[in-house]
Amino acid sequence: MKGALKMKHKFLVLGVMLSCLLCFTGCGKQEQQTAQNSVDESRYIPKYYDEDHLKQLADDIEDDFFEAFYKKGVTPENFEEKAYLSLVYGYYFSDEKYETFRKGYESWYKAIDQIGYGSKDTLADDINVESISYEMNNKGQLVLTGRLHGTKHYADMVIYLDNKFTPTPELQVADVVSIMNYETTDIGVTADKTIGEKLENAGLNTLMGMGMAFSILITISLIICLFPLIQKLGTKKNDKKTIAEKAIDNTVGQIAEKEDLSSDAELVAVIAAAIAAYEGSGSTDGFRVRSIRKVNSNWKKF
């Protein structure tokens, strides 16, 4: 009985803990949903940063700018040549805002093939902003995400907005809000991928990484295998040099010994011949001692 009561007590405690976790999870989701699609009204004008105006802003950036640039043959390489004057002098963009749109268009340009479209003529119908969401990030900046829909994939166009709102004559006269009123600080487009495409990319990256690793290992192995051969070549060169030096030393020594022996033999023979001549002996081994007379050379002076 006591064992059964202990088990029931454990199950009861476990159930209470799970219930608390579920409650905390639900509260967290509710807080997250409340924070989404809202702005900091103390820093952003609620009238111009509501869902309708932000949806219009996303449409303007995607349709009136990026798609219009693409149809005119604008590329990331010739963007400054073909778009700088129209943005800076036509829309009164600052250099910082121009740079933001240049980078944003480059990101959109690289993702457009993955998003998918039929042709330039059907581009406006093939790619559009289906929905938006916005929230404040941890830096207190408004982040607007436009959900793009194409013929192949969905994509997220993320737009960072500062709280600087510039009034224009159109706004003051007709209360018309345009892209010139908003201060964008960053724009990026990322296309979604299916699980199969993600696995394919992951597999390719893995194969490339393994290939590079094996190539490096093979190269290192070859270098290590060449070490004995390099050492043998060095030893052979040293041996050849040593042999040559020994041969030279032996040759020089032999020559020196022969010269010393020959000079000693001649000296011995000369002495023997002199002794034999003095004693009147006939054996002089081929050497004869003759008297040397001084020749009178005075006649050469005349």
pLDDT digits (tens, 9 = 90+) for 30-62: 444 446 888 999 999 999 999 999 999 999 999
- Say if residue 185 is in the same domain as residue 207: no
**222 falls in which pLDDT band (50, 70, 90)?**
confident
**301 falls in which pLDDT band (50, 70, 90)?**
very low
Tens-digit pLDDT profile for residues 126-172? 999 999 999 999 999 999 999 999 999 999 999 999 999 988 887 77
Task: Look at residue 117 and give its three-state secondary structure.
Answer: coil
- Residue 221, in any domain of the structure: yes
Q: In the predicted model, what is the mean pLDDT of residues 89-101?
A: 94
Q: In the predicted model, what is the mean pLDDT of residues 259-283?
A: 60
CA atoms within 13 A on the CB side of 301: 3
Range of the domain at 203: 195-233
- Say if residue 110 is in the same domain as residue 200: no
- Say if residue 159 is in the same domain as residue 85: yes
Higher pLDDT, 245 or 205: 205
Q: Considering 177, 192, 207, which residue would you say is the last residue of a domain?
A: 192
Predicted pLDDT of residue 17: 61
Tens-digit pLDDT profile for residues 73-85? 999 999 999 999 9
Q: In the predicted model, what is the mean pLDDT of residues 104-124?
A: 96
- Residue 284, in any domain of the structure: yes
- Say if residue 229 is in the same domain as residue 271: no
Tokens of 88: 């800076």
Q: In the predicted model, what is the mean pLDDT of residues 14-39?
A: 58
Q: What is the DSSP string of 164-183?
A: EE---HHHHHH----GGGEE
- Residue 255, in any domain of the structure: no
The 154-165 sheet, strands edge to edge: 128-136, 142-149, 154-165, 182-191
- Say if residue 214 is in the same domain as residue 74: no
- Say if residue 88 is in the same domain as residue 181: yes
- Say if residue 46 is in the same domain as residue 179: yes
Report whether 277 contacts 289 (CB < 8 A). Answer: yes
Report whether 34 contacts 74 (CB < 8 A). Answer: no
- Residue 122, in any domain of the structure: yes
- Residue 27, in any domain of the structure: no
- Residue 301, in any domain of the structure: no
Report whether 133 contacts 145 (CB < 8 A). Answer: yes
Number of domains in the chain: 3
CA atoms within 13 A on the CB side of 2: 0
- Say if residue 40 is in the same domain as residue 188: yes
- Say if residue 64 is in the same domain as residue 154: yes
- Residue 29, in any domain of the structure: no
Predicted pLDDT of residue 215: 87
Which residues does 282 contact at the CB level (< 8 Å), separation at least 6? 276
- Say if residue 60 is in the same domain as residue 187: yes
- Say if residue 128 is in the same domain as residue 217: no
- Residue 12, in any domain of the structure: no
- Say if residue 265 is in the same domain as residue 165: no
CB atoms within 10 A of CB 109: 17
Predicted pLDDT of residue 247: 59
